[in-house]
């Protein structure tokens, strides 16, 4: 086996992971502070000291996330002003619209910066909500796990190849397994944590097994390289390719667990009910956002050529399977929620139903001629749903604090005792139903419109119309169980002792969530524009590779040193395309030779430029990887 050529590493890449570094280090700071100092204090004082220290870390991460998002935008929008702050080489580095960093393993684009900011904001609400009442004694461990889970979510949404994606996915879920079971005084917490761990372990094994099939077919773990190889294999797709079919089904099973899609949803109700309310909120929001972003990167980028080859939605592609899962998920989730009397279990089945709605948008994305708009609709839905859900779980935390229970009937008479917060919860429930003019309505509207926005005569139109019709019917069904919460608050008298007034963490969490669903209703276009801009680089792949002497968009600036990469010969490409079509291919295989980065190797070694084409145009793009990964790229027959 030839040795791997040296790969250059740019220390400036660390800038783009500053929020992750801050959260990882601050989680350790909180843990050590709790062990060394705060345990000497009384229980309430200790919780407040450690919690406020954690909020300081959230503030630092928020500042870092804003810097990572805004500094490159400032450099690109105002290059003359930015030149007074940065050296020419640094300014040229920041001028890249869609950089991949750390040897092509993660992205430093607008999507990453945007969702880093969303994750930190949601983490702030969850951390603040956690200080409302005592549900654990391990405050340092609990808050550190929240921080480290957030680091996993950030890397998961930024991943550009499967090894990084899997490690980030496991980092996130392992932290959530542990946080779920930290309410030791309640047996349901330990039960929920155990079920979460067992189901999660099985799903991770299935997911990794599917990745091994995909790696055996393509010989690479890079999303863009996989897309190029599958696109070059023709329109046969999964027909006569059992390895490809197994890869798709196993990867769907792995992602299906993370997003709580039927039939991989069994863990969700017990975990949501058993976990402390802030942890359940974090599982239902941050985990779902990160998992869906990774899901879209894998299926709407890497595996897009296998979406619906030949234009038949019932043919050998993943679109038909995804449409079926979406239909079953939203129907089962809504009808199961009708029978629930526990608020957190109702929100669990509601979360399953919302996963079905979002999968409708992902299916539309796989067929869309405007990928950025379709992906932007899904991202918009995820953001507004997440904030509304945090507010709903804040109400559950309020019940647990005073009643040590979270049944819906325990909210009876709340409108008379706390009219402002009752009205806020009213807006949150209406947004989750999808009532205009709240943000939840526009989330469903954008997703369903993208599903209907198919070219005239498209063979997929009828299927997607039925899928949207089913989504509208299920939205009507969802009104019955959300209205049950409103009936208890506004139409029933209080039973038993009254709820104590909401303290600051609960009240502010509910008010902040309500503000989001109200403001981004009339101003939904503003948020939608941001989500579309974030989605554009997430779904694009390199087009043609420019020569080394090609001028930069900003002439006169320093060109980054090209990264050596492996290149496949024409014969090797034909061999892998044959395997992608289900052929066995000749045994063995030759590792592609490393290309020199000298001036003579012009077109093969220059950094790949990226275009903002829709996913539908990816079949015409060259199968160039976004970055060199060394040993993660090989020919199919090599061991």
Rounded distance between C-alpha atoms, residue 313 and residue 318, angstroms: 8
Which of 92-106, 339-353, 545-559 has the highest average model confidence (pLDDT)? 339-353
pLDDT tens across 1-45, in order? Answer: 333 334 566 777 888 899 999 999 999 999 999 888 776 788 778
- The arithmetic mean of pLDDT across residues 397-402, rounded, is 79
Cis peptide before 635 (omega within 30 of 0): no
Rounded distance between C-alpha atoms, residue 259 and residue 277, angstroms: 18
Rounded distance between C-alpha atoms, residue 268 and residue 97, angstroms: 39
Sort 639 into a burial class: Cβ within 10 Å, 0-12 / 13-18 / 19+: exposed
Nearest to 358 by CA among 466, 462, 482, 444: 444
**263 C-beta neighbours (distance < 10 Å), count:** 11
Q: Give the per-residue pLDDT at 570.
A: 63
How do the residues of the chain divide into helix, strand and coil, expressed in percent and rounded to 5? 70, 0, 30
- The arithmetic mean of pLDDT across residues 603-614, rounded, is 40
Of 162 and 6, the one with more pLDDT: 162
Res. 594: pLDDT tops 90: no
Q: Give the per-residue pLDDT at 368.
A: 79
Res. 358: pLDDT tops 80: yes
pLDDT tens across 277-299, in order? Answer: 899 999 999 999 999 999 999 99
Rounded distance between C-alpha atoms, residue 518 and residue 534, angstroms: 22
* Least reliable range by pLDDT among 246-250, 262-266, 344-348, 625-629: 625-629
Res. 397: pLDDT tops 80: yes
Q: Give the per-residue pLDDT at 360.
A: 93
Q: Which two tokens mark 84?
A: 């007074």
Q: Give the per-residue pLDDT at 292.
A: 94
Cis peptide before 350 (omega within 30 of 0): no
Q: Is 464 helix (H, G, I), strand (E, B) or coil?
A: helix
pLDDT tens across 359-368, in order? Answer: 999 998 888 7
Q: Which two tokens mark 208?
A: 């990794």
Instruction: Name the strand (E) or helix (H) holding 100.
Output: strand 100-101
Through-space distance between the first and last CA atoms of the chain, rounded to whole angstroms: 10
Rounded distance between C-alpha atoms, residue 281 and residue 275, angstroms: 9
- The arithmetic mean of pLDDT across residues 428-451, rounded, is 93
Of 182 and 461, the one with more pLDDT: 182
Res. 509: pLDDT tops 80: yes
Q: Give the per-residue pLDDT at 97.
A: 61
Q: Does residue 594 contact residue 564 with C-beta atoms inside 8 Å?
A: yes
Backbone angles phi, psi at 407, to 5 degrees: -80, 150
* Least reliable range by pLDDT among 177-181, 240-244, 552-556: 552-556
Q: Give the per-residue pLDDT at 237.
A: 62
Res. 441: pLDDT tops 60: yes
- DSSP assignment letter at 159: B
Res. 496: pLDDT tops 70: no
Res. 596: pLDDT tops 80: no
The DSSP annotation for 227-246 comes to HHHHHTT-S-TTTT-HHHHH
Rounded distance between C-alpha atoms, residue 447 and residue 385, angstroms: 13
Q: Give the per-residue pLDDT at 24.
A: 95
Res. 252: pLDDT tops 80: yes
Res. 260: pLDDT tops 50: yes
Instruction: Name the strand (E) or helix (H) holding 599.
Output: none
- Residue 187 pLDDT class (50, 70, 90 cuts): confident
What share of the chain in percent tops pLDDT 70?
76
Rounded distance between C-alpha atoms, residue 203 and residue 149, angstroms: 18
Q: Does residue 394 contact residue 277 with C-beta atoms inside 8 Å?
A: yes
Lookup result for tokens 């990084």:
164
Q: What is each CA distance from 224 to 12, 374, 503, 539, 596, in whole angstroms?
A: 23, 19, 49, 9, 22
Q: Give the per-residue pLDDT at 121.
A: 95
Rounded distance between C-alpha atoms, residue 292 and residue 447, angstroms: 14
Q: Does residue 608 contact residue 542 with C-beta atoms inside 8 Å?
A: yes
Q: Give the per-residue pLDDT at 629.
A: 39
Instruction: Name the strand (E) or helix (H) holding 107.
Output: strand 106-107
CA torsion through residues 537, 12, 105, 561, sign: positive
Q: 340: left (phi > 0), else alpha (psi -120 to 50), else beta?
A: beta
Q: What is each CA distance from 396 to 280, 389, 515, 588, in whole angstroms?
A: 10, 11, 19, 59
Backbone angles phi, psi at 222, to 5 degrees: -75, 135
Q: Which two tokens mark 74?
A: 């400032």
Q: Give the per-residue pLDDT at 310.
A: 63
Res. 547: pLDDT tops 80: no
Give the chain's mean pLDDT. Answer: 80
- Residue 463 pLDDT class (50, 70, 90 cuts): confident
pLDDT tens across 79-130, in order? Answer: 666 666 777 766 666 666 667 888 888 888 888 889 999 999 999 999 999 9
């Amino acid at each position: 086996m030839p040795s791997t050529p040296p790969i250059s590493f740019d220390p400036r890449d660390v800038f783009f992971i500053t929020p992750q570094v801050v959260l990882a280090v601050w989680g350790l700071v909180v843990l050590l502070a709790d062990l060394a100092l705060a345990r000497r204090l009384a229980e309430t004082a200790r919780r407040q000291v450690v919690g406020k220290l954690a909020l300081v870390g959230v503030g630092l991460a928020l500042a870092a996330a804003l810097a990572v998002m805004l500094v490159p935008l400032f450099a690109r929008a105002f290059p003359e002003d930015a030149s007074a702050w940065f050296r020419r080489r640094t300014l040229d580095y920041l001028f890249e619209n869609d950089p991949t960093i750390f040897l092509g393993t993660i992205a430093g684009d607008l999507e990453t910066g945007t969702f880093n900011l969303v994750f930190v904001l949601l983490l702030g609400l969850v951390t603040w909500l956690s200080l409302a009442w005592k549900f654990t004694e391990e405050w340092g461990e609990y808050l550190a796990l929240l921080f480290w889970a957030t680091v996993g979510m950030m890397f998961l949404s930024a991943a550009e190849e499967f090894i990084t994606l899997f490690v980030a996915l496991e980092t996130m879920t392992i932290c959530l397994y542990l946080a779920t079971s930290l309410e030791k005084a309640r047996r349901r917490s330990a039960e929920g944590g155990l079920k979460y761990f067992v189901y999660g372990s099985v799903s991770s094994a299935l997911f990794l097994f599917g990745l091994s099939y995909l790696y055996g077919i393509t010989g690479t773990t890079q999303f863009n390289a996989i897309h190029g190889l599958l696109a070059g294999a023709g329109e046969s797709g999964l027909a006569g390719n059992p390895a490809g079919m197994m890869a798709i089904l196993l990867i769907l099973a792995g992602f299906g667990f993370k997003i709580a899609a039927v039939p991989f949803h069994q863990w969700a109700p017990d975990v949501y009910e058993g976990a402390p309310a802030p942890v359940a909120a974090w599982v239902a929001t941050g985990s779902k956002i990160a998992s869906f972003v990774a899901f879209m990167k894998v299926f709407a980028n890497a595996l897009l050529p296998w979406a619906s080859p030949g234009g038949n939605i019932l043919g050998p592609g993943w679109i038909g399977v995804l449409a079926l899962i979406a239909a079953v998920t939203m129907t089962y989730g809504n009808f199961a929620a009708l029978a629930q009397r526990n608020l957190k279990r109702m929100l669990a089945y509601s979360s399953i139903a919302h996963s079905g709605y979002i999968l409708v948008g992902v299916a539309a994305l796989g067929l869309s001629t405007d990928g950025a708009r379709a992906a932007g609709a899904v991202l918009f839905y995820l953001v507004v749903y997440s904030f509304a859900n945090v507010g709903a779980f804040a109400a559950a935390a309020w019940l647990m604090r005073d009643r040590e229970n979270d049944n819906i009937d325990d909210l009876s008479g709340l409108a008379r005792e706390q009219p402002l917060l009752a009205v806020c919860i009213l807006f949150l429930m209406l947004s989750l139903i999808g009532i205009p003019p709240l943000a939840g309505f526009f989330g469903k509207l954008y997703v369903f419109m993208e599903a209907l926005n198919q070219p005239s005569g498209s063979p997929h139109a009828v299927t997607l119309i039925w899928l949207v019709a089913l989504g509208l019917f299920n939205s009507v069904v969802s009104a019955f169980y959300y209205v049950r919460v409103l009936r208890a608050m506004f139409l029933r008298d209080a039973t038993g002792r009254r709820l104590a007034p909401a303290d600051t963490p609960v009240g502010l969490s509910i008010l902040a969530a309500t503000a989001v669903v109200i403001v981004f209703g009339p101003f939904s276009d503003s948020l939608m524009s941001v989500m579309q801009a974030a989605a554009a680089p997430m779904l694009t792949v390199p087009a043609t590779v420019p020569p080394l002497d090609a001028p930069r968009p900003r002439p006169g600036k320093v060109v980054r040193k090209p990264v050596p990469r492996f290149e496949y010969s024409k014969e090797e490409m034909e061999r892998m395309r044959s395997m992608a079509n289900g052929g066995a291919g000749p045994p063995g295989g030759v590792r592609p030779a490393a290309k020199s980065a000298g001036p003579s190797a012009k077109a093969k070694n220059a950094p790949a430029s990226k275009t903002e084409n829709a996913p539908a145009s990816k079949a015409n793009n060259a199968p160039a990887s976004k970055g060199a990964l060394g040993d993660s790229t090989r020919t199919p027959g090599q061991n």
